[in-house]
Structure 1
Amino acid sequence: MSALPVKITHGERVMDIHSGVTKAELAAYYDAVSPWMLPHLADRPVAVLRAPEGIGGEMFFQKHAAKTIQGVRALDPSLDPDHAPLMQIDHVRGLVGAVQMGTVEFHTWNARSDRIERPDRVIFDLDPGDDVPFARIVEDAQLIRGLLDELGLTTFVKTSGGKGLHVVTPLARRHAWDVAKGFAQAVASHMARVFPDRFTATMGPTHRVGKCFIDYLRNYRGATTVCAYSARAREGMAVSMPVHWEELPDLPGADAWNVRNAVERLRALKQDPWAGYDKAELQRVTKGVLDRLGD
């Protein structure tokens, strides 16, 4: 194994008692996965979930830059006034440097830092009730894909690394945050209205019993979603994995890949599951789209 770009201290520390994954293993994972992950991080404000003593200990979310994380770029303070600067990770040094400081998860904004007031995607986070089997979640994601396809919008999907799926709709950087969030809420409300036995647009565990909550709240300014290929601070250290829509029915769960088998999958792929994403970045939320969701 080649040397890491940042020295890892206490590499023997077990980050997850369930799997036995150590801090050194986690750093090596992010180093190995960086060619796939960095395009999803680059140019976006990022927040990190840190677990300095492992996922069984105290964990905290960090949205703003700290000099203690090597390789992390501090953004223009005017992007988030009255706080320390937002941060961005463009290179593998930042990824591994964050792990050195106890980071497990990486979460990104839905906008790029050079045009932070113009989101470039909408994410529908399917958050299932505890009694909803994964096969049902797959069907629910496909229903959302079908609706968006009818509206002329191309979508992509990834596992959450937890229980659910993330349906991602790229957008041209022309819309304000209120348009993006309004569109996401309109889709969630529409699905809950048409399929009330499957979906809810109301948060809270009581509303998710037997249903999937379509979490549209991931789409306001400053909200973040776990980045593609990020590990999760949960038992087993699963990762959020982009997949082909055609793969979904055969997946055993949203935690199918973890820090020990994800790179093997990626190296075996013959095609990027999200091939064509760049072409979809010209999509727009038109008045016609919003009017149809209100029918």
Structure 2
Amino acid sequence: MKVAVIQLNVGENKSKNLSKAVHFIDEAAGKGADIILLPECVNFFGDTAEIINQAETIPGPTSDVFSKKAKEHKIYINCGSIYEVADSKYAYNTSLLFDTNGEIIAKYRKIHLYDATFKDRFTSKESENIRPGNKLVTADTEFGKFGLSICYDVRFPELFRSLALEGCQMIFLPAAFPQYTGSMYWETLLRARAVENQCYIVAAGQYGKSYNGNVFFGNSLIIDPWGTVIAKAHEGEGITMQDIDLSFVEQVRNNIPTFSHRKPEVYKL
């Protein structure tokens, strides 16, 4: 299968953001993509006070756009994530996977919320506007079994190990990593998650300056089960593609059968 990651610089104009996403989806499909991953907050990134106003129901206007494109091109599309209505004060940060018929076959709500403070750099308080999810989400396809995650989730290896134990051969991670933390550990964490779970990691990031002057790291990656970066985005918006054979996952797991070597009775909390 051919996997494409789309790197975008998302702003406050929802229609402009979706127009760019659709443009790159059409281009990737034209190049033979079977599966497409977009970044976190694919249709809106702006003032946190606007999150609730921009949140949508699912199905809704944004999910309909991706559903139609998946059906039109007969491809799988992971929308990255969008804000989903939770209640009058909160939204969910939700990732959707569409199948080749345009049906939503997986819906994952971000579990780990990014609350962080870097003095004189930036502060994030995702929990002020976002409710966390509480469920692992996987999807069975004709290519294999996929797992879903979002951005800050990458710092929590328990989630990725749980997805691997559920049988996932490839895990998606759409993100909007800031430049500062991204330069420190984005690739390191992604490669670690791939190595320790012997699976493919497909990560699509936002790139460039955001609405308030903060800068996204970009560096969208596709990583194989040995932890090798087999595709990496250039600077800027665009598409990065890679052929993947999921049978390689089983080969690696047979070479070093770490799952059968686990001792959960020892390190269970």
Q: Pick the TM interval, shorter chain.
A: 0.3 to 0.5
Tell me the TM-score normalised to structure 2 length: 0.37
